[in-house]
Amino acid sequence: MKNFILNEFLELKLENQKTNIYVDGELFMQCKKLILNIYPWNEEFDKIKSIDAAALVNDKFSQENGSTTNHLLSPEEEFKGHCSNLQVWVENDYNTNLLHSNLAFPLLKRLTEVGDQQARRVFKDEVFKRFSTGEETAIVSLIESDYLSRDENEYLLEDPKITQNLLTVFKSENFHYRNTILNFVKKLGNSHNFIIRNFSEIAVNFSTRELSTLLNYLRVDLNFQEYNTFLENNLISFLIKKYKDLSSANLDGINLLLDVIGEKNFPNIKFEERRIDYGLFNYEVKEFYKRKNINFGLKEDPNGNLAFRIRPFNKLYSYELHFMLGRWITSKEELQLLYNIKNALFGNEEIIIKKIKLNVFIHQEYDEDDDFYDEEFKNKNEIQIFVLKLNHDLNVEKFEKNIELLLQTSMEMSEKIIILYKIVRNYYLSKIRDTETRIIEKDLFFYKLVDYYKKHGYDVILEFNYLRIFKIREKNKNFYIYFNNSEMLIEIKKIFFSSETDLLIQRIHHNNNNIFITVNFDS
């Protein structure tokens, strides 16, 4: 075994015909082969300032000219080459231009960990240099590697060029990059100052979910006055500009605005818990829907939450919605239901319903085959309704065609956010038709299906094995059509939704009692 000591921390050993690097007496890594060819006639080599650049030029030239780099060296010759390279690197104070970055960077990090102060200084400068390049991948990689101490990381935010590069990563379309940089900044001291100071740049490409996470972080990290000032100076104008283009309105945006509204942020908005008799709730909401030619039913789901069944009159399908506390609205139907319940129970009162739950489990007698409860039940039960009570009658119509007018008004911040919420909500409900799941009782579904095919001269046998719904027999020939076969989806649309020309069936599934048809609408 041969060895070559470079300094008190670094040593090379030739072991089993391989060159190994040892740091502080422990094996660090095995050296790669020496494969770099220098072509004197290639002028590009004269411009090279680092081994990394030389390797790139070498690879490019070799590929273009069909040259090979497979010159065989003995293990002893390779060992001498590696010793020479690393000796030059050490004698030049760990100059990273003299060693490939794939080796120099991890080696510097390890030397730093064992107490090499010169390596520490070079390593720190190298990290800052890479942060200064502005290359997204490099910056994210450095953050994930956790190379610097907390104090050194905080120093990064004091460098204007590095700060600008970090903000560039915040604007990335890559969610992983944005999330990595946000988590990194949040760990630093006084990070909220950096976020507030650069909020409009940081959040420009954030989804509303990401934005909500960021706002919750600031809400916890700041005192009330600081957060209130942030809302006034940053958030209001940002949200108004973000939702100026209402065509981008979505459930996440609606939930974000609903989350921002509340007594935690605005003491003048009162958060209330209202309780209403279960039977009265059911009656009032049912009557409201009846006036809209819709049948409404209420029941308790297996988890003790409220389940609403809504069926338009003269339609074969219904919707079933489940409400749980502590979650955002997950469908357009849920949003519309909350809005309708508010109108049914509280008329024109200026409130926004956030959540609904059943206060006491129901112990009533009912037919288990019936989707809806009887209105007669044994115990008195209550519905809990969580609402935001608004103090003012706000004129939404005035701002619908020019949302930016909100910025110019003297209204309180809470009023501006409420108006923006109503504008976005109303637009979403009136303009956007998203995915729906329609429910049809299984017996009814098959009755209509069999009837349809019999009229076309087919004998239908229904099957459910392996997602096989039925087979069609005609002149003793069997046809097997699966549930989500494209031909089958077209036929089901003809049977159940023939008048809705813009409707597309995406998929169908079932349980013991119901058929669930997921549809969307061709815009």
Least reliable range by pLDDT among 224-228, 263-267, 469-473: 469-473
- 302 vs 437, residue with greater confidence: 437
Quick one: 278 exposed, middle or buried, by C-beta within 10 A (0-12, 13-18, 19+)? buried
Whole-number Å distance between alpha carbons of 348 and 393: 10
Over 90: is that where the pLDDT of 125 sits? Answer: no
Find the largest Cα–Cα distance for the chain.
97
pLDDT band at 7 (very low <50, low <70, confident <90, very high): very high
Q: Mean pLDDT throughout 275-293?
A: 88
Over 60: is that where the pLDDT of 133 sits? Answer: yes
- pLDDT tens digits, one per residue of 475-493: 555 566 666 778 788 888 9
Q: Mean pLDDT throughout 133-144?
A: 78
Residue 222 has a pLDDT of 81
Over 50: is that where the pLDDT of 469 sits? Answer: no
Whole-number Å distance between alpha carbons of 339 and 161: 49
In this prediction the pTM is: 0.62
Quick one: 81 exposed, middle or buried, by C-beta within 10 A (0-12, 13-18, 19+)? middle
pLDDT band at 56 (very low <50, low <70, confident <90, very high): low
Whole-number Å distance between alpha carbons of 419 and 414: 9
- pLDDT tens digits, one per residue of 57-93: 555 555 555 555 445 778 888 888 889 988 998 999 8
E runs forming strands in 188-318: 270-277, 294-300, 306-312
Average confidence score pLDDT of the chain:
77
Q: Phi/psi of residue 323, each to 5°?
A: -115, 130
Residue 38 has a pLDDT of 47
Is the torsion defined by CA of 425, 430, 436, 440 positive or negative?
positive
- pLDDT tens digits, one per residue of 245-273: 888 778 888 888 887 876 667 777 777 88
- pLDDT tens digits, one per residue of 16-53: 888 999 999 999 887 766 555 444 444 554 454 555 55
Helix 251-260 vs helix 332-346: crossing angle, to nearest 10: 50
Q: How far is CA 343 from the centre of its chain?
A: 33
